[in-house]
């Protein structure tokens, strides 16, 4: 089974069901549950004795003559019981709130670290908005499930049993009404929760869809505005909002049909009639009737609270079920913490590699090649040939379906994943920068880097000068996704970030596409210097960069159709010549020593797409 990245607070959880999972978190706080239970039990007992002392006060007051010392004693006891209740309720509520906050913290830790440990197959499949809805709102529902949800459930259960326990002290027959009420209450509550569970899940699902849509629109807001689709997107959000509203209304409609309300009223009337009948028979005093009816009034709290409390518990369980769907998502990615973690030379070998984002639709088919450490390798081919996919197998962004990728003769799946990735740097065309300072973005792969090391990496990437011109230099914030910078500036910061980590394998996936020709010449010189002694893979459409490579791989339709030097491929590979739209006779002009060969204009060469 794949080994996931684990959180700093290391403990195992049981993910077989929502209840097992929540309990595996909650049992770590058993002493808090004990305090909550003791507080609820003591509060229930104190509240149960208050009607009894109130009844005694009635008996003392209605006696002839009135026994004022009995009234004062009862008043003192009631006051003391209320003071005791205050302390016990504080203990119960404080314990429940502490449990709720710790549960939210632990669940968020587990969920967040699990997301970081999932393979790209998971992240390609699940929309970011859906993940965010579960990581924020659903995790918060776990908190609310324990406080006030479970807190009120435990507290109300004590009130529920007090009439059943203390009622027979007046007369054995007075156990009848509380007993019947308890049985009926449990049955009605079970039916209520069974009807509420699917509605609670539907509320969570529709909220997730709404969150996904809003996140997608805001992420692509530039496209929405550029195409003038604001009104259309507003209408779509309104439809999602209506679906969420309708789901909440259906849940509210079911909550409104809470039959225990009616059952409580019937039980209270029946209990009062029963006690009055026993009074008429001479078995009870006035104070006993008052005390017993006061005990029955305790049933009001669990009846009224349960509508909210159990609904909150149902929402929490629905949220736990949704979180488990992502936590239990099967991923083949194994972090292999016990794997090989030595220093990397940079030899790379593909052995009959097959891979597809969907099992029955291979993107790469039978790829085999070997690259020695320190070589510069260009990967070329038409759009959709599988170039970017191929390099993402080296650092295990994805794992192969068949065959093997080896680094230094060791299958990448046998490497410690952290050690493998820390020695490989990938720079893509679509550069991602965090909403942090320039310094933090460059040092992201090496957080303990000194200022001198950061500036050296920036100079290599030809970024130092423009960074100094920013308002706060290296401390300037780049905005979300680097929105405050131009495309070329973002790519130079990404290059600096890669150079700082001192990788043994450097992968450039069209990494200079957003840079002007003059800056690109300078960056290529820097890359050439930094790449010395490192294995470098270059995916590009620019002939000047392709000819810089020691070895070229030509892909078409997911297959490696040819490999060799630039000169050899121009002579022997029709697919390679077709990339430059050159017939064989004209291709000869680009060979060394023929009409200038390599001295052809860089600007003209770069206009040719591969």
Which residues have a Cβ under 8 Å from the Cβ of 293 and sit 6 or more positions away? 51, 268, 271, 272, 275
Q: What is the pLDDT of residues 202-214, one digit of tens each?
A: 887 888 888 888 8
Torsion angle in degrees (nearest 10) through CA of 265, 271, 273, 276:
-140
**Which single residue is written with the structure tokens 């060969």?**
597
* CA pair distance 532, 349, nearest whole angstrom: 20
Detail the DSSP E strand segments found in 488-544: 505-509, 535-539
Residue 320's pLDDT is what?
Answer: 92
Q: How far apart are CA 275 and CA 173, in angstroms?
A: 9
Strands 551-556 and 559-564: antiparallel
Fold of domain 18-29+94-327? ABC transporter transmembrane region fold (1.20.1560)
Q: How far is CA 439 from CA 38, 81, 436, 445, 478, in A?
A: 53, 62, 8, 11, 10
Asked whether the beta carbons of 129 and 215 are under 8 A apart, the reply is yes
Q: What is the mean pLDDT of residues 27-48?
A: 92
- Quick check: 542 and 606 in contact, CB under 8 A? yes
Closest CA to 496 of 444, 460, 536, 453: 460
Does residue 376 register a pLDDT over 60?
Answer: yes
Tokens linked to 592: 């060394």
pLDDT value at position 586?
47
Query: Hey, how many other C-beta atoms are within 10 angstroms of the C-beta on 596?
Result: 11
User: pLDDT by residue (tens digit) across 410-448?
Assistant: 999 999 988 898 899 888 777 788 888 999 999 988 888
Number of helices (H) and strands (E) in the chain: give both, helices first: 25, 10
Say how far apart CA 22 and CA 264 lie, in whole Å: 32
How would residue 86 be classed by pLDDT, with cut points 50, 70 and 90? very high
Confidence (pLDDT) at 357: 85
* The residue to which tokens 């292999």 are assigned: 336
CA distance 7 to 109: 6
Question: Exposed, middle or buried: residue 342 (CB in 10 Å: 0-12, 13-18, 19+)?
Answer: exposed
The pLDDT score that the predictor gives to residue 252 is 84
Q: How far apart are CA 464 and CA 455, in angstroms?
A: 6
Rounded Cα gap, residues 550 and 565, in angstroms = 7
- The structure tokens 């011109």 sit at 469
CA distances from 433 to 112, 200, 444 (A): 20, 38, 10
188: left (phi over 0), alpha (psi -120 to 50) or beta: alpha
Per-residue pLDDT, averaged over 21-34, amounts to 92
CA dihedral 239, 241, 246, 247 (to 10 degrees): 120
Give dist(CA 13, CA 23) in Å, integer.
9
Q: Bridge-partner residues for 348, per DSSP?
A: 371, 407
Tell me the three state secondary structure of residue 118: coil
* CA 583 to chain CA centroid, nearest Å: 53
pLDDT in tens, 558-579: 999 999 988 888 888 888 888 7
| β-strand partners of 361 | 358
Please report the pLDDT score of residue 140 as a whole number. Answer: 92
| 236 C-beta neighbours (distance < 10 Å), count | 14
284 φψ region: left (φ > 0), alpha (ψ -120 to 50), beta (else): beta
| pLDDT the model gives residue 553 | 94
The answer to whether domain 336-423+505-518+535-610 and domain 431-502 are alike in fold is: yes
Identify the DSSP state of 5.
P
CATH topology of domain 431-502: Rossmann fold (3.40.50)
Which percentage of the chain shows pLDDT scores above 90?
Answer: 35
Confidence (pTM): 0.70
CA distance 458 to 442: 8
H/E stretch holding 525: helix 517-530
Strands (E), 420-574: 424-428, 505-509, 535-539, 551-556, 559-564
Just give the CATH number of 336-423+505-518+535-610: 3.40.50.300
Residue 580 and residue 566 in contact, taking contact as beta carbons nearer than 8 Å: no
Contact 312, 143 (CB under 8 A): no
Of 61-65, 296-300, 409-413, 457-461, give the lowest mean pLDDT range.
61-65
Q: How confident is the model at residue 280 (pLDDT cuts 50, 70, 90)?
A: very high
Q: 554 phi and psi, to 5 degrees?
A: -110, 120
**Tell me, what's the pLDDT at 10?**
55
User: Domain locations in the chain?
Assistant: 18-29+94-327, 336-423+505-518+535-610, 431-502
Task: Please list, in sequence order, all residues whose beta carbon lies within 8 angstroms of the beta carbon of residue 536, skipping any fewer than 6 positions away.
Answer: 375, 376, 377, 505, 506, 507, 508, 527
Instruction: Give the Cα separation of 319 and 279 in Å (integer).
Output: 51
Whether 585 shows a pLDDT value over 60: the answer reads no
Contacts 24+ apart (CB under 8 A), 322-325: 322/134, 322/138, 322/201, 322/204, 322/205, 322/208, 323/107, 323/111, 323/134, 323/138, 323/139, 323/142, 324/15, 324/17, 324/18, 324/21
pLDDT at 523 over 70: no
Q: In sequence order, which ranges of 257-397 are alpha helices (DSSP H)? A: 260-280, 286-297, 300-327, 387-391
* Coil vs helix vs strand at 547: coil
CA distance linking residue 292 with residue 8, whole number of Å = 54
Residues whose CB falls within 8 Å of the CB of residue 581, separated by 6 or more in sequence, listed in order: 608
* Averaged confidence pLDDT in the chain: 84
């Amino acid at each position: 089974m794949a080994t996931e990245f684990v959180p700093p607070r290391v403990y195992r959880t049981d993910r077989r069901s929502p209840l097992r999972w929540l309990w595996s978190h909650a049992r770590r706080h058993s002493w808090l549950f004990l305090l909550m239970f003791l507080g609820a039990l003591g509060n229930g007992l104190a509240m149960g004795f208050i009607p009894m002392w109130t009844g005694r006060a009635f008996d003392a007051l209605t006696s002839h003559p009135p026994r004022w010392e009995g009234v004062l004693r009862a008043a003192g006891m009631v006051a003391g019981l209320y003071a005791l209740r205050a302390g016990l309720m504080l203990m119960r509520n404080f314990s429940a709130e502490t449990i709720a906050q710790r549960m939210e913290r632990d669940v968020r830790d587990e969920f967040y670290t699990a997301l970081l440990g999932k393979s790209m197959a998971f992240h390609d499949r699940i929309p970011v908005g859906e993940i965010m809805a579960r990581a924020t709102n659903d995790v918060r529902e776990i908190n609310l499930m324990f406080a006030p949800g479970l807190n009120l459930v435990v507290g109300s259960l004590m009130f529920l049993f007090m009439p059943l326990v203390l009622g027979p002290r007046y007369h054995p027959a007075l156990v009848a009404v509380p007993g019947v009420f308890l049985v009926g209450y449990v049955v009605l509550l079970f039916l209520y929760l069974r009807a509420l569970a699917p509605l609670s899940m539907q509320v969570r699902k529709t909220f997730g869809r709404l969150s996904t849509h809003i996140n997608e629109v805001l992420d692509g807001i530039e496209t929405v505005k550029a195409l003038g689709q604001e009104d259309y997107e507003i209408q779509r959000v309104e439809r999602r909002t209506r679906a969420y509203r309708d789901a909440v209304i259906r849940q509210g409609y079911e909550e409104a049909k809470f039959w225990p309300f009616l059952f409580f009223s019937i039980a209270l009337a029946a209990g009062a009639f029963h006690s009055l009948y026993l009074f008429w028979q001479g078995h009870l005093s006035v104070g006993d009737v008052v005390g017993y009816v006061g005990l029955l009034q305790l049933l009001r709290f669990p009846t009224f609270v349960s509508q909210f409390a159990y609904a909150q518990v149902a929402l929490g369980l629905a949220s736990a079920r949704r979180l488990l769907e992502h936590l239990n998502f099967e991923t083949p990615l194994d972090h292999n913490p016990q794997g090989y973690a030595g220093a990397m030379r940079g030899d790379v070998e593909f052995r009959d590699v097959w891979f597809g984002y969907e099992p029955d639709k291979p993107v790469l088919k039978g790829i085999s090649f070997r690259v020695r450490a320190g070589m510069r390798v260009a990967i070329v081919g038409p759009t959709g040939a599988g170039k970017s996919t191929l390099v993402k197998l080296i650092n295990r962004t994805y794992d192969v379906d068949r065959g093997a990728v080896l680094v230094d003769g060791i299958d990448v799946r046998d490497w410690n994943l952290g050690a493998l990735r820390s020695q490989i740097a990938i720079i893509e065309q679509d550069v991602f920068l965090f909403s942090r300072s320039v310094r933090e973005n460059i040092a992201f792969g090496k957080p303990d880097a000194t200022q001198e090391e950061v500036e050296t990496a920036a100079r290599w990437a030809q970024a130092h000068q423009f960074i100094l011109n920013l308002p706060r230099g290296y401390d300037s914030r780049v905005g979300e996704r680097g929105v405050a910078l131009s495309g070329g500036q973002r790519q130079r910061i990404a290059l600096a970030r890669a150079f700082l980590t001192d990788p043994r394998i450097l992968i450039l996936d069209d990494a200079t596409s957003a840079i002007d020709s003059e800056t690109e010449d300078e960056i290529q010189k820097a890359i050439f210097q930094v790449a010395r002694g490192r294995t470098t893979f270059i995916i590009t459409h620019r002939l000047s960069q392709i000819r810089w490579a020691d070895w070229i791989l030509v892909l078409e339709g997911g297959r490696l159709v040819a490999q060799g030097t630039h000169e050899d491929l121009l002579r022997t590979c029709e697919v390679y010549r077709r990339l430059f739209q050159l017939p064989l006779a004209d291709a000869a002009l680009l060979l060394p020593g023929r009409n200038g060969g390599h001295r052809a204009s860089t600007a003209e060469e770069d206009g040719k797409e591969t």
